């Protein structure tokens, strides 16, 4: 049986880390062939205490320190301290189906892939209308066009996946995550992997559940930072991301011309979502949610361009 190492970088995740770790306890993969390394970036809430409680009861769960706080440092600490032949990168803001690990390993072998991932089902983090709207925004093609959010009818090759299940030899071949990229390091790594001839597979029956921000301010802020890090990597690496990452930038740069067709499209999809969810309040709140998604991302991309120039 293949030894698997799960690495989870986190910081200030007391609301979600318990749910994440509990879903790993319920994995059907043999625990004697599993290790979970949670790399904490100096959390200032109760995250560390929750992790310690799990690790005191389950020896395969371990807490590691990330004094530099940010995700790429945590990922690389986890990889360097892992012992598995297969390394699964997970997000603390998510929970995982019980067959998540076993299916990742299965597809990695069957398709001779270098990285395997599945789909994420975005769920409201709270029982509020805004949290529901944000979850719907990130689950809709107009809000997020990534393969791992949209899914697929059958396993297929793609350019990136959520998290990722890697053969250890991948890191020996192309190196670790780029520590200059405080965000977007996974996209850059997977583009580097593809450029080196690697194979990335999306399998639709590998399922994780993701819980995004639940209020509009934090949602806007998150998208702004994502937009910055869609552009800023060009300062450190010469591999551009895919066109979809630059569409919000084009949208913002072409205002006010682009706003009129945008409003019509947004209203159409908002009505579609309201009917599907049987909640007509969403018709009024979804356009604002979509706009925060796209305008925040595009505005962040402009700031990313400024930071490159300066």
CATH number at residue 95: 3.90.550.10
Do residues 76 and 176 make contact, with C-beta atoms less than 8 angstroms apart?
yes
Tens digits of per-residue pLDDT, 221-256? 999 999 999 998 888 887 677 778 889 999 999 998
DSSP-derived letter for residue 290 is H
265 and 304, same domain (yes or no): yes
Asked if residue 163 and residue 287 are part of one domain, the reply reads no
- Whether residue 227 is found in the same domain as residue 302: yes
Range of the structural domain that residue 298 is part of:
220-309
> Structural domain tally of the chain?
2
Q: Which of 214, 242, 276 is the last residue before a domain boundary?
A: 214
Whether residues 171 and 229 share a domain: the answer is no
Are 84 and 164 in contact, with CB atoms under 8 Å apart?
no
Same domain membership, residue 225 and residue 191: no
Question: Could you give the CA distance from residue 239 to residue 231 in angstroms, rounded to a whole number?
Answer: 11
Looking at residues 6-33, what average pLDDT do you find? 97
81/204 same-domain check: yes
Same domain for 182 and 230, yes or no, is: no
Q: What 3-state class would DSSP assign to 178?
A: coil
- Of 173, 194, 214, the one marking the end of a domain is 214
Question: For the chain, how many residues are written?
Answer: 310
What is the band of 153 on the pLDDT scale with cuts at 50, 70, 90? low
Q: How far apart are CA 141 and CA 144, in angstroms?
A: 5
Q: What is the model's pLDDT at position 160?
A: 85
Per the CB < 8 A criterion, the answer to whether 37 and 8 are in contact is: yes
Q: Determine contact, residues 135/123, Cβ cutoff 8 Å.
A: yes
Structure tokens at 41: 């970036």
Check whether 148 has a pLDDT greater than 70: no
Same domain, 54 and 96: yes
Over the stretch 20-67, which tens digit does the pLDDT of each residue have? 999 999 999 999 999 999 999 999 999 999 999 999 999 999 999 999
Of 163, 185, 214, the domain-final residue: 214
How would residue 147 be classed by pLDDT, with cut points 50, 70 and 90?
low
For residues 153 and 296, membership in a common domain is answered with no
Looking at residue 237, its pLDDT comes to 81
Residues 38, 173, single domain; the answer is yes
- Report how far apart, in Å, the C-alpha atoms of 115 and of each of 140, 167, 193, 196 are: 25, 7, 9, 13
Query: Which tokens sit at 125?
Result: 């983090």
Long-range contacts of 58-64 (CB under 8 A, 24+ apart): 58/25, 58/31, 60/31, 60/32, 60/34, 60/35, 60/36, 61/21, 61/24, 61/36, 62/35, 62/36, 62/37, 62/38, 63/38, 64/37, 64/38, 64/39, 64/40
Of the candidates 4, 201, 199, the residue with the CA atom closest to the CA atom of residue 102 = 4
Do 28 and 171 lie in a common domain? Answer: yes
User: Is 202 found in the same domain as 116?
Assistant: yes
Question: For residue 127, which phi and psi values (nearest 5 degrees)?
Answer: -90, 65
* Percent of the chain whose predicted confidence (pLDDT) is above 70: 97
């Amino acid at each position: 049986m293949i030894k698997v190492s799960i690495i989870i970088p986190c910081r200030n995740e007391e609301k979600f880390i318990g749910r994440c770790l509990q879903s790993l306890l319920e994995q059907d993969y043999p625990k004697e062939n599993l290790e979970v390394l949670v790399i904490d970036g100096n959390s200032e809430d109760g995250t560390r205490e929750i992790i310690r409680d799990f690790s005191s009861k389950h020896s395969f769960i371990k807490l590691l320190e990330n004094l530099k706080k940010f995700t790429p440092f945590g990922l690389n600490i986890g990889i360097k301290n892992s012992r598995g032949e297969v390394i699964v990168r997970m997000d603390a803001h998510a929970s995982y189906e019980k067959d998540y690990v076993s299916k990742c390993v299965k597809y990695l072998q069957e398709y001779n892939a270098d990285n395997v991932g599945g789909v994420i089902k975005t769920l409201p983090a709270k029982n509020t209308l805004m949290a529901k709207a944000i979850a719907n925004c990130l689950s809709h093609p107009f809000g997020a066009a990534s393969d791992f959010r949209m899914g697929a009818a059958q396993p297929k090759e793609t350019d990136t996946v959520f998290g990722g299940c890697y053969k250890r030899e991948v890191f020996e071949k192309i190196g670790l995550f780029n520590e200059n990229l405080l965000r977007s390091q996974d996209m850059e790594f997977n583009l580097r992997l593809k450029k080196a001839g690697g194979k990335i597979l999306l399998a639709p029956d590998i399922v994780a559940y993701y819980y995004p921000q639940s209020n509009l301010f934090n949602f806007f802020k998150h998208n702004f930072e994502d937009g910055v890090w869609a552009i800023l990597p060009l300062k450190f690496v010469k591999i551009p991301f895919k066109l979809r990452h630059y569409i919000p930038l084009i949208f913002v740069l072409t205002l006010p011309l682009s706003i009129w067709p945008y409003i019509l499209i947004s209203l159409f999809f908002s009505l579609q979502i309201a009917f599907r969810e049987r909640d007509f309040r969403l018709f009024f709140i979804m356009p604002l949610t979509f706009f925060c998604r796209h305008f925040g991302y595009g505005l962040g991309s402009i700031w990313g361009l400024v930071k490159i120039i300066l």
